[in-house]
Structure 1
Amino acid sequence: MSARRLTATAVALAGCALAGTLGSGTASAHGSMQNPLSRVEGCYLEGPEHPKSAACTAAIAAGGTQAMYDWNAVRIGTAAGRHHELIPDGKLCSAADPEFAGLDLARADWPATNLTAGADFTFRYHVTAPHRGTFQLFITKDGYDPAKPLAWSSLESAPFLTVTDPTVSNGQYVLPGKVPAGKKGRQLIYAIWQRSDSPEAFYSCSDVVFDGSGAPAGSAPTPAPGSGATHSHEPSPTASAAPVAPAAPVAQQAGALDAAPATPATPTDTTRSAGAELAQTGTGRATGLAASVGAAFLLAGAAVVVINRRRRRPAAHAR
């Protein structure tokens, strides 16, 4: 092989090593509300190819089956708490992502979970890639009409439950709290999970009823391990989309949007604190980049050594 071809090969290999890191980390997937069951996970569990409910059938007709297979990926990678700014009225359940447009259908027949107003309740969020962050749960106002597009003004102004860095048990974030009192009929719970180690945020809509006409709470099966969209880390945050600073574990019943809780919670013996196992992804990409740069230099150096040896090799004597 000529020196020129060796040099070209080294450069190409170095480029591949760099591209492998620079090109990764643009898609993420982490989870969805499990109890009460979210629209997207419920439609996935029904079976995207042959959904059972009329609402899921209509949602799949509107947006296709892939959205339901990607049940853990209703997200905005650069949210950084700017939920109202980035998500317009009528697109809250899809987080303004066209893939999930079917979730925004205004219908009064979405499968719903039974809840009891004012009762203690353990909300659970099915997670496929745990991270530090804060959960905020909002419920619709009295007089909510499910046949009209969901708007920000449809929700109570303050979350009824806020939990930061909750414990993780059996693949679910455990969010102990209390169902808002005085609620009747059909309502909707809107969940926002804002990561604190990244600007990325996740969203879900869970239909609930207070008249006993829905499914028993906690009765939905859990998606099989490995289902959902594949998780990979986000690019490092930029100055314009800085991550929210991590906070101590906490649960509180009400507060302003994106309020910072402050009271630590103690994990139980059967669950582990999220802080002990949640991924901090802010440095993962930098580490991979450093490794790839090092590999590129090693490849280039090896090529130079080969080239120099070929240049010093004595010519064969003519016979």
Structure 2
Amino acid sequence: MPVSAKPARLKAKAAATVTALGVAPLALTALAAAPAVAHGSMGDPVSRVSQCYAEGPESPRSAACKAAVAAGGTQALYDWNGIRIGDAAGRHQELIPDGKLCSANSEEFKGLDLARADWPATSVGAGSYTFKYRVTAPHRGTFKVYLTKAGHDPAKPLAWSDLDLANPVATATNPAAQGGFYTFSGTLPERSGRHVLYAVWQRSDSPEAFYSCSDVDFGGTTQETPADPNDSAAPTAPAPTASAPSEEQIEDGAGKSTVENHGHGDGDAHTSAEPAAAQDAGGNRPKAASAGQNLAETGGDARTAYLAMGGAATLALGSAVLFTAARRRSASGARHGR
């Protein structure tokens, strides 16, 4: 047989083996075709990056999000759920300098650190508040949410000293993920005007941590912001109300995300810790948005079943090929021994 004919023959045999095993070839391609998933960001009150992603990375509506894209590009918005430090291990203040809290000191997300008073904001008030953290790959860990101190000036770069670190407004450890969100309660103190909520999600099954800034408005002021900060003659108007991205927007932009997690952390070697047991205190496994089955705390979604099928088919194919090769060697040995 000519050498050039061997690849075609091998492909044909592989296809025949897959068919004989009752596994559709499509299952094998699912492993490579399924898009990667990342981790999460505050959904309510919506984070800056989620808000700008909801407006549309290529043509955001608000002046603040337009400025963020001009400073850092559109890719940061497609990677909205990946503001993270792989080896944080609780060293948040050590690793993130003042003025770079919203980006977690990442060059990609530097547009989110822009100090301006017109970021789209969620209206809030003092008292109990139900926080919703949008999650695309659940992990065990602890959430802490901090609020800026009274008298905060949103037109100045956010510093650690601006946050009331001694009194987080919410703390939650291993909350259950349901409907694509971690939901937990907190209490907002008396404030007036615009403030920032800073969320830190420190994983317990890895040193990896995630960060987000959410702009909120407690009211009580009449401050208005120019529609175009570069045009002093422009008529004034209040900053737009914040809104989280829809499921359709998240799905539509998933293919453009460069953040991967492969189950428990992305390709970063610092996030390769073995995942913890995947259940909450009630024994329930969390579900990611649009998932039709229970998911491990290390991430995944409805595509996980297809990935498993692809992996199983690959293993089965490998086993069949080895078995066939072993039989041929055995038969050949028997012939030569006669």
Normalised by the length of structure 1, the TM-score is 0.68
Q: Is 1:41 the counterpart of 2:50 in the alignment?
A: yes
Aligned: 1:99 with 2:116: no
State the Cα deviation string for residues 106-159 of structure 1 (Å, max 9, x = none).
111111111112x11111111222222211101112232222222222211232
For residues 253-282 of structure 1, the C-alpha deviation after alignment (integer angstroms, 9 at most, x for no partner) is xxxxxxxxxxx7x79xxxx67599562439
2:262 aligned with 1:232: yes
Greater length-normalized contact order (CA 8 Å, ≥ 6 residues apart) = 1
The structure-2 alpha-carbon separation of the partners of 1:148 and 1:306, relative to structure 1 and needing over 3 Å to count, comes to farther
Preserved CA contact (<8 Å) 1:208 1:214 = no
Number of residue-to-residue matches in the alignment:
277
SS in 2 for 1:150: coil
Cα distance in 1 for residues equivalent to 2:107 and 2:315: 36
Q: Residues 62 and 247 from structure 1, CA distance in 2 versus in 1: closer, same or farther, beyond 3 angstroms?
A: same
1:248 and 1:157 map into 2 onto residues whose CA distance is: 30
Supply the AA of the counterpart residue of 2:219: D
- Distance in 2, Cα, partners of 1:308 & 1:245: 45
Aligned to 1:259: none
Say whether 1:201 aligns with 2:209: yes
- Other-structure match for 2:177: 168
Aligned pairs (5 A) from 1:301-316? 306=328
| Aligned equivalents of 1:120, 1:277: Cα separation in 2 | 30
Equivalent in the alignment of 2:148: 140
Aligned to 1:55: 64
2 CA distance for matches of 1:206 and 1:235? 24
Does 2:246 align with 1:222? Answer: yes
Q: 1:304 to 1:221 in 2, by over 3 A?
A: closer
Which whole-Å CA distance do the structure 2 matches of 1:67 and 1:240 have between them? 21
User: Which runs of structure 2 are paired with 1:154-193 in the superposition (5 Å)?
Assistant: 154-158=162-166, 159-179=168-188, 181-193=189-201
- Superposition pairs for residues 20-99 of structure 1, below 5 Å? 29-99=38-108
Amino-acid identity (%): 52
- What does the per-residue CA deviation read over 1:280-316, in whole Å, with 9 as the maximum and x for residues that have no partner? 439x9xxx999989987875675566567678878xx
How far, CA to CA, are the matches of 1:99 and 1:190 in structure 2?
Answer: 19
Amino acid at match of 1:78: D
Letter of the 1:200 counterpart? E
Shift in CA distance, 83/71, structure 1 to aligned 2, threshold 3 Å = same
Following superposition, the deviation at residue 221 of structure 1 comes to 5.4
Which amino acid is the alignment partner of residue 194 of structure 1? Answer: Q
On the 8 A contact 1:38/1:207 being kept in 2, the answer is: yes
Q: 1:298 to 1:168 in 2, by over 3 A?
A: same
> Take 1:221 and 1:121, find their aligned partners in 2: how far apart are those partners?
20
Tell me the distance in 1 between the aligned counterparts of 2:320 and 2:160. 54
TM-score (norm 2): 0.64
**Secondary structure, counterpart of 2:61 in structure 1:** coil
Alpha-carbon contact 1:199-1:241 (below 8 Å) kept: no
Gap change, CA 1:239 and 1:61, over 3 Å in 2 = closer
Q: SS of the counterpart of 2:108?
A: helix
What CA distance in whole angstroms lies between the structure 1 residues aligned with 2:180 and 2:213? 20
The gaps in structure 2 that reach 5 residues or longer are: 15-31, 221-237, 288-292, 305-309
Cα deviation for residue 89 of structure 1 reads 2.1
- Structure-1 residue corresponding to 2:28: none
Conservation of the 8 A alpha-carbon contact between 2:37 and 2:136 = no
Aligned-residue Cα RMSD (Å) equals 4.6
Match of 1:125 in 2: 133
| Distance in 2 (alpha carbons) for counterparts of 1:66 and 1:144 | 30
Unaligned runs of 5+ in 1: 14-22, 250-263, 315-319
Task: Sort the Cα spacing of 1:235 and 1:211 in 2 relative to 1 into closer, same or farther, 3 A.
Answer: closer
